[in-house]
């Protein structure tokens, strides 16, 4: 579904991606891991077309995105849903309006259709009787659920999750993981999940990609990640201080 081919990106003098090759296969859950600052969110911003590579290509659904103009990007972005790192809810709107937002922006559906769709998505993420709540009254886990309902409101082909479990306790993390697995199984969408949390990555991933110093240093199945001798993966997974990681990077 999505393929990066030798993608490089620098911000000023700072190289962030340095020849990244990776694939996010259709209908699977791909998890990207790596240190803080490794460029994980930058990968998602490339997929959304918010930033463009300096060199290399990004293929989406078999198309070379370097050939897409602004209008094509705007059209194709509707095929993607995104759950942002901090949920990024609109605090001036209640739960219902947050989930309705993409439907109002991108479709011409009637008010009745919108209400029905919103209730359907809220049910899918396990939020019932919460539609009139102010987002500021929600717990972190509930905010993630609303963010997820909003991300899937337009029935996207691809859903991108930037650290869906950051700031959540281990049990709520597990609940969100289960929600990711359930919604993916129900919709058959392509999911890309950025994560720091290895327990969570192992639970949900079909494949795991690890970024380090601008390159992909591991890209294989979850089982292969659990069994690999790759010292970078082992150190990251075990959170060890000693190992090949430059801890001042």
Chain contacts with Mg ion (rule: CB under 5 A) = 41
SS3 content of the chain, % helix, strand, coil (to 5): 40, 25, 35
Q: What is the DSSP letter of 189?
A: -
The stretch near ligand ATP (CB under 6 A) out of 29-37, 109-117, 212-220, 228-236 is: 29-37
Q: Which CB atom, from 43 or from 146, has the smaller least distance to ligand ATP?
A: 43
Q: Which CB atom, from 41 or from 222, has the smaller least distance to Mg ion?
A: 41
The stretch near ligand ATP (CB under 6 A) out of 33-41, 63-71, 115-123, 151-159 is: 33-41
Does the footprint of ligand ATP cover residue 32 (CB under 6 A)? no
Residue ranges of the alpha helices (H) in the chain? 40-47, 70-77, 95-106, 111-124, 140-151, 170-187, 198-204, 222-227, 231-238
Q: What b/e readout covers 158-182, taking b as 16+ CB neighbours within 10 angstroms?
A: bbbbbbbbbebeeebbebbbebbee
Per partner kind, with CB cut-offs from 5 to 8 A, the member of Mg ion, ligand ATP, none near residue 16 is ligand ATP
Tokens of 103: 């439907």
Does the footprint of ligand ATP cover residue 38 (CB under 6 A)? yes
Q: Which of 1, 2, 7, 16 binds ligand ATP (CB under 6 A)?
A: 16
Does the footprint of ligand ATP cover residue 33 (CB under 6 A)? no
Per partner kind, with CB cut-offs from 5 to 8 A, the member of ligand ATP, Mg ion, none near residue 36 is ligand ATP
The stretch near ligand ATP (CB under 6 A) out of 37-45, 75-83, 128-136, 232-240 is: 37-45
Does the footprint of ligand ATP cover residue 208 (CB under 6 A)? no
Per partner kind, with CB cut-offs from 5 to 8 A, the member of Mg ion, ligand ATP, none near residue 39 is ligand ATP
Burial grade of 196 (CB within 10 A; 0-12, 13-18, 19 or more): middle
Does the footprint of ligand ATP cover residue 42 (CB under 6 A)? yes
> For 156, phi and psi rounded to 5 degrees?
-70, 160
Q: Which CB atom, from 23 or from 41, has the smaller least distance to ligand ATP?
A: 41
Q: Which of 24, 39, 97, 125 binds ligand ATP (CB under 6 A)?
A: 39
Strand partners, 4: 22, 58
Distance between CA atoms of residues 209 and 222, nearest Å: 9
Per partner kind, with CB cut-offs from 5 to 8 A, the member of ligand ATP, Mg ion, none near residue 144 is none
Distance between CA atoms of residues 246 and 210, nearest Å: 15
Burial grade of 4 (CB within 10 A; 0-12, 13-18, 19 or more): buried
């Amino acid at each position: 579904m999505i393929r990066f081919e030798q993608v490089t990106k620098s911000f000023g003098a700072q190289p962030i991606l340095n020849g990244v090759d990776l694939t996010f296969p259709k209908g699977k859950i791909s998890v990207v891991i790596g240190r803080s600052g490794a460029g994980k969110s930058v990968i998602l911003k490339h997929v959304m077309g918010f930033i463009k590579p300096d060199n290399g290509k990004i293929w989406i659904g078999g198309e070379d995105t370097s050939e897409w103009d602004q209008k094509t990007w705007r059209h194709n972005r509707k095929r993607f849903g995104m759950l942002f790192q901090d949920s990024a809810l609109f605090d001036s709107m209640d739960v219902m309006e947050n989930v309705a937002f993409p439907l109002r922006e991108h479709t011409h559906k009637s008010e009745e259709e919108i209400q029905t769709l919103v209730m359907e998505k809220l049910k899918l993420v396990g939020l019932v009787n919460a539609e009139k709540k102010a987002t500021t009254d929600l717990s972190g886990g509930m905010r993630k659920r609303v963010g997820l309902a909003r991300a899937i409101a337009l029935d996207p082909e691809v859903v991108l999750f930037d650290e869906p479990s950051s700031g959540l306790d281990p049990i709520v993390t597990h609940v969100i993981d289960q929600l990711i697995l359930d919604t993916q199984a129900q919709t058959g969408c392509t999911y890309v999940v950025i994560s720091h949390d290895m327990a969570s990555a192992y639970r949900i991933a079909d494949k795991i990609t690890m970024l380090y110093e601008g390159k992909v240093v591991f890209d294989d199945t979850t089982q292969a990640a659990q069994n690999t001798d790759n010292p970078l993966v082992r150190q990251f997974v075990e959170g060890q201080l000693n190992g090949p990681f430059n801890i001042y990077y």
